[in-house]
Amino acid sequence: MASTVALPTRRARPDRPRRCEGLGKAFINIENVVATASLKQDFDLNSIVRSSPSAEYRPETFPGLVYKLKKPKTATLIFSSRKMVCTGAKSERQAKKAVMKVVDELKKKGIVIVGKPDITIQNIVASGGLGGTMDLEKSTYSLERAMYEPEQFPGLIYRMEDPKVVILLFRSGNIVVTGGRNRKFIVPWP
User: pLDDT tens digits, residue range 58-79?
Assistant: 999 999 999 999 999 999 999 9
What does DSSP assign to residue 63?
A: S
Higher pLDDT, residue 118 or 54: 118
Task: Please indicate, yes or no, if residue 62 is contained in any of the structural domains.
Answer: yes
Residue % of the chain over a pLDDT of 90: 68
Long-range contact pairs involving 16-24 (C-beta distance under 8 Å, separation at least 24): 17/138, 17/142, 19/134, 19/135, 19/138, 19/139, 19/142, 20/130, 20/131, 20/132, 20/133, 20/134, 20/173, 21/132, 21/133, 22/132, 22/133, 23/130, 23/131, 23/132, 24/129, 24/131, 24/132
Task: Please indicate, yes or no, if residue 61 is contained in any of the structural domains.
Answer: yes
Residue type for position 163 = P
Query: Could you list the residue range(s) of the whole structural domain that residue 84 is in?
Result: 34-122
Alpha-carbon distance 116 to 118, whole Å?
7
Q: Which pLDDT band holds residue 189 (cuts at 50, 70, 90)?
A: low
pTM of this structure: 0.82
Structurally, the chain folds into a number of domains equal to 1
Alpha-carbon distance 47 to 106, whole Å?
10
**E strands in 90-173:** 118-129, 133-134, 146-147, 156-159, 166-169
Residues in the chain: 190
CATH code: domain of residue 43:
3.30.310.10
Q: What is residue 169's predicted lDDT score, i.e. its pLDDT?
A: 96
Task: Please indicate, yes or no, if residue 149 is contained in any of the structural domains.
Answer: no
Mean pLDDT within 142-163: 93
**Out of 9-18, 38-47, 128-137, which region has the weakest mean confidence (pLDDT)?**
9-18
Q: What is residue 43's predicted lDDT score, i.e. its pLDDT?
A: 87
**Out of 8-12, 138-142, 151-155, which region has the weakest mean confidence (pLDDT)?**
8-12
Task: Please indicate, yes or no, if residue 12 is contained in any of the structural domains.
Answer: no
Higher pLDDT, residue 1 or 125: 125
Task: Please indicate, yes or no, if residue 93 is contained in any of the structural domains.
Answer: yes
Q: What is the mean pLDDT of the chain?
A: 86
Predicted confidence (pLDDT) at residue 139 exceeds the cutoff of 50: yes
pLDDT digits over 33-45, tens only?
A: 999 999 988 889 9
Q: What is residue 23's predicted lDDT score, i.e. its pLDDT?
A: 58
Mean pLDDT within 161-186: 92
